[in-house]
Structure formats: structure tokens, C-alpha cells
């Protein structure tokens, strides 16, 4: 073999091939380069930013993770008890969304040097460090089984290194994602996620992901947009190139109705993390929420064809189908969603709607309303936006007006920009409905 052929054999070109060297996809390779120091070289010039890696360097990097040297780690020992050793915490632990648990130091500007110096990279103990990395990879897989394994693993990380802030941030993120990709309800996931997020913030206030997860909890659990916005602004000040910071903030802005800002942050996230199916899905959902239905449906349909195993795509499409009065399309998409989430309860609910649909749309609507009202009574729905949307789809003005009055009487504040827009468009000539929507969505 000539010297030039040896050199060619030692070189791996492109993100896809680099990921394949480890049995991973291109997105994982990009994330490892950004967050773990995967040795990747960039060829100068050109518009596409061609990258390559050397096999020997990749293998040495992988070996260093399996056998980390204590001198290379920053001590994270700090006073504090693990979450489940605190009074009253055990019950919440028995209760049953992206990636990035705070290894953000490589993306920080020079002005953040002080925060970077103080930020822990990995736990001191090599075994705990390895579990932490494995858990983050499991979360990145974005399926119900892997996220549950990640949660269990991260609980052991926070138990064995209770002073390691990124461990709590990663646990909070995994719990949050389990609502979307796993079988947990908000009530199952958010209380433990909040506790973990607050621990992360207490231990590592300069950690961008600690600020970010608290912002997510503040919006989706507390429904406090002001607090969520402040957390995300701090997170992005700490880590302006954190794709997940832009992604999650864009998600919240889209739901809140700040469409232009949402698209800005989601496109920033897509630029920073190209190839992310989750970001592309949220971007399409934001477009639908803003009223650009053609672009949203085209994007989601394309994503569904290429990534049929990504649960949230089906969830988004189901709502879009229902907004147009397509109950059959809603049921079909929700069946796929429930199957991918491995959620037997959700599967049973949608089967009940499907069986009712055999008797007609009116019967299917009645079952959906029964389920929504039961969820509302149980506290699983925290606003009346969903049942109002269902009543709007069915053309039941009297029921819709009554539901809107109940919501305003209870001082509900809605996000749900896509559902609200759908209602507003259908009843655009009805000042009574429009006034109630304005009250419910006022900041």
C-alpha cells in the first residue's frame, strides 16, 4: 500500500461516515464534536463546510472516554443530599423531551470565561461519567424505551454524584421528553422534573441547560410565560450557540403565539443542529400555528415518509387533520402516535374514538369530548383550550361559547396558538367568540 493510499484509508470524510465509524448517525457525530470534543477537521474554503476525521484520532478519543484520567476531570463534589433522600421526595420518585445536559463549554464566547472555568464537564468517577454519557445517548434516540432507560440511569448518576448539576439537568430533560416520546403524563413527569431542574439550578446556576429546563417547566407546568422567558434569556446569554436553547425557546414562543420570534429561534436551532428531525417537526408545527398550513403539511408529510418512527410527527398531523374535520385522519395518526409511545392507555382511548367513528363523526366527537372533560376534571388538562377546539371543529357554537365563558371565569391564560387560530378562523365573523379568545390569550 502506498503512502497516499494509507493516508486515504486513515481518513473518514463527512459527518455521516464519521458517525458510522461508531455505529451512529450524522446528527450524533455533530453533537459529539460540539459537546465532547470529537476530533473532527474542517477543510478550508467552499460553501458546504466539508469535514473529515482520522481513524486513529477517533479511536484514541473513544478510548479516552472508556478510561478517563482523573487529572482530566473537574471535581464536582458539593454538599447536598440526593433528591430521593429528602423528606417527602420518595413519593414523587415513584410517580411515573433535545438533548444536551450542560456540556456547553465549547460553544461559549470569551466573555463567559469565568463561567466556563467553574462549569463541570463530567463526573469525577469514571463509571458515573460513562453512565451519564450513555444516558444522554439514550435520550437522543427519542423513543419511549430508551428515554425510560435514560431516566433510570440518570437517577443513579445523581445518587452517586449528588453535587453534579448537569446530572440533574439531564434528568429533568429526560423526564420532560418522556411526556412527548414515552408513556408519562404531565402529572407523572413534571413534579420530578421540577425538583431536578431546581437542583440543577442550585448546583450550577451558570449552566445553560439548568436555566433552560427551568424555563420549560415554568411555561408548560406553571403557565408562566414571563418567568419562562427570563430563564431562556439567561440560558441563551450563557450559551448563545446552544441549539437546544433556541429549539426549546422557539417551541414555547410558537405555542404562545409569538410566531416571528419562534421561527427565528427554531431556524437558529436548525442551523446549529442540522438534520434534527425534532427541530424540523417543531418548525413545521410553528408554521401551522401561524396559519401557513400548506408549508406545514408539506413539511410534516415529507418528514413522516422519511422518519415514520418519530412519534411527534403523527401527533402534529393528527391535530391538523382534526382541524379540517377529518376524524378518520385524526384517528389513524393518533394510532401511530400511541404505538410509537408504547402507551397502552392512549392506544385504548384512540381505539374507543375509532370504534365510535364507525357510527359517524358526531359519535366520535362525543367520545372525544367525554375524554376531554374527564381529563379536565382529573387535572390532566390544565386549560379548556382542547375541549374548546373540539367544540369548534364540531360546529357547536353554543357549547363553544359556554366553554369559553368557563375558561374566562376561571382566569385561564392560554397558549395553544394553533388551536386558538383554528377556532378564530372558523368563527371569524362572530364577535362574541373573538372577544373571549382575546381575553384568554392576553399576555
Q: What is the DSSP letter of 443?
A: -
Contact in structure between 129 and 117 (CB atoms under 8 Å): no
**Is the pLDDT confidence value at 362 over 60?**
yes
Q: In what order do the strands lie in the sheet with 11-13?
A: 11-13, 51-54, 41-42
Summarize the confidence of residues 137-163 as an average pLDDT.
91
Q: What nine digits make up the cell of 295?
A: 408549508
**Is the pLDDT confidence value at 368 over 90?**
yes
Q: What nine digits make up the cell of 93?
A: 420518585
Tell me the three state secondary structure of residue 127. helix
Q: What is the pLDDT of residue 83?
A: 27
Q: What nine digits make up the cell of 400?
A: 363553544
pLDDT, one tens digit per residue, over 170-222 is 999 999 999 877 778 888 899 999 999 999 999 999 999 899 999 999 999 88
Q: What is the pLDDT of residue 43?
A: 54
What is the model's pTM?
A: 0.69
Q: What is the pLDDT of residue 155?
A: 96
Summarize the confidence of residues 37-41 as an average pLDDT.
81
Q: What is the pLDDT of residue 42?
A: 64
Summarize the confidence of residues 27-36 as an average pLDDT.
72
Q: What is the pLDDT of residue 81?
A: 25
Helix (H) or strand (E) holding 31: helix 26-35
Q: How confident is the model at residue 305 (pLDDT cuts 50, 70, 90)?
A: very high
* Average predicted confidence (pLDDT) for the chain: 82
The rounded distance, in Å, linking the Cα atoms of 64 and 283 is: 37
Q: What is the pLDDT of residue 33?
A: 76
pLDDT, one tens digit per residue, over 57-81 is 887 777 766 443 333 332 222 222 2
Rg (CA), the chain: 23
pLDDT, one tens digit per residue, over 373-384 is 999 998 888 899
Summarize the confidence of residues 398-406 as an average pLDDT.
97
Q: How confident is the model at residue 307 (pLDDT cuts 50, 70, 90)?
A: very high
Angle, vertex CA 218, rays to CA 189 and CA 309, nearest 5: 45
Give the distance from CA 388 to its chain's centroid. 25
Q: What is the pLDDT of residue 38?
A: 83
Q: What is the pLDDT of residue 10?
A: 74
Q: How many residues does the chain have?
A: 443
The rounded distance, in Å, linking the Cα atoms of 241 and 161 is: 28
Q: What is the pLDDT of residue 50?
A: 65
**Is the pLDDT confidence value at 54 over 60?**
yes
Q: What is the pLDDT of residue 106?
A: 26
Listing DSSP states for 162-219 in one string gives TT-HHHHHHHHHHHHHHHHHSS--HHHHHHHHHHHHHHHHHH-TT-HHHHHHHHHHHH
Q: Give whichever of 16-25, 73-82, 385-394 has the largest mean pLDDT.
A: 385-394
Amino acid at each position: 500500500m502506498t503512502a497516499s493510499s494509507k493516508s486515504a484509508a486513515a481518513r473518514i470524510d463527512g459527518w455521516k461516515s464519521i458517525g458510522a465509524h461508531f455505529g451512529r448517525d450524522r446528527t450524533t457525530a455533530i453533537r459529539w464534536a460540539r459537546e465532547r470534543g470529537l476530533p473532527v477537521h474542517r477543510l478550508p474554503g467552499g460553501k458546504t463546510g466539508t469535514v473529515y476525521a482520522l481513524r486513529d484520532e477517533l479511536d484514541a478519543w473513544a478510548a479516552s472516554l472508556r478510561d478517563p484520567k482523573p487529572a482530566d476531570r473537574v471535581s464536582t463534589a458539593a454538599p447536598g443530599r440526593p433528591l430521593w433522600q429528602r423528606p417527602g421526595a420518595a413519593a414523587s420518585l415513584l410517580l411515573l423531551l433535545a438533548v444536551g445536559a450542560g456540556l456547553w463549554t465549547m460553544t461559549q464566547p470569551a466573555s463567559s470565561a469565568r463561567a466556563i472555568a467553574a462549569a463541570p464537564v463530567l463526573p469525577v468517577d469514571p463509571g458515573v461519567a460513562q453512565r451519564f454519557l450513555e444516558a444522554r445517548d439514550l435520550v437522543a434516540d427519542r423513543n419511549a424505551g430508551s428515554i425510560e432507560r435514560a431516566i433510570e440511569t440518570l437517577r443513579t448518576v445523581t445518587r452517586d454524584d449528588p453535587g453534579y448539576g448537569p446530572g440533574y439537568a439531564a434528568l429533568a430533560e429526560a423526564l420532560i421528553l418522556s411526556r412527548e416520546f414515552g408513556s408519562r403524563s404531565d402529572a407523572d413527569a413534571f413534579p420530578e422534573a421540577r425538583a431536578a431542574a431546581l437542583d440543577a439550578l442550585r448546583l450550577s446556576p451558570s449552566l445553560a441547560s439548568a436555566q433552560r429546563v427551568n424555563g420549560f417547566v415554568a411555561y408548560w407546568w406553571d403557565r408562566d410565560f414571563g418567568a419562562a422567558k427570563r430563564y431562556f434569556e439567561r440560558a441563551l446569554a450563557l450559551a448563545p450557540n446552544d441549539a437546544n436553547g433556541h429549539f426549546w425557546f422557539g417551541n414555547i414562543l410558537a405555542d404562545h403565539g409569538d410566531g416571528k420570534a419562534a421561527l427565528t429561534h427554531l431556524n437558529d436551532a436548525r442551523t446549529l443542529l442540522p438534520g434534527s428531525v425534532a427541530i424540523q417537526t417543531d418548525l413545521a408545527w410553528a408554521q401551522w400555528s401561524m396559519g401557513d398550513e400548506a408549508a406545514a403539511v408539506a413539511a410534516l408529510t415529507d418528514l413522516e415518509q422519511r422518519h415514520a418512527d418519530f412519534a411527534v410527527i403523527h401527533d402534529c398531523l393528527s391535530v391538523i387533520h382534526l382541524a379540517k374535520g377529518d376524524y378518520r385522519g385524526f384517528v389513524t395518526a393518533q394510532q401511530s402516535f400511541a404505538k410509537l409511545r408504547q402507551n397502552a392507555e392512549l392506544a385504548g382511548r384512540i381505539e374507543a374514538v375509532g370504534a365510535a367513528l364507525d357510527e359517524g363523526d358526531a359519535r366520535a366527537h362525543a367520545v372525544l369530548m367525554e375524554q376531554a372533560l374527564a381529563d379536565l376534571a382529573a387535572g390532566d388538562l390544565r386549560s379548556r383550550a382542547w375541549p374548546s377546539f373540539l367544540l369548534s371543529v364540531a360546529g357547536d357554537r353554543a357549547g363553544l361559547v359556554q366553554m369559553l365563558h368557563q375558561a374566562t371565569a376561571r382566569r385561564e391564560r392560554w397558549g395553544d396558538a394553533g388551536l386558538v387560530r383554528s377556532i378564530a378562523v372558523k368563527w371569524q365573523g362572530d364577535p362574541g367568540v373573538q372577544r373571549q379568545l382575546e381575553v384568554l390569550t392576553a399576555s
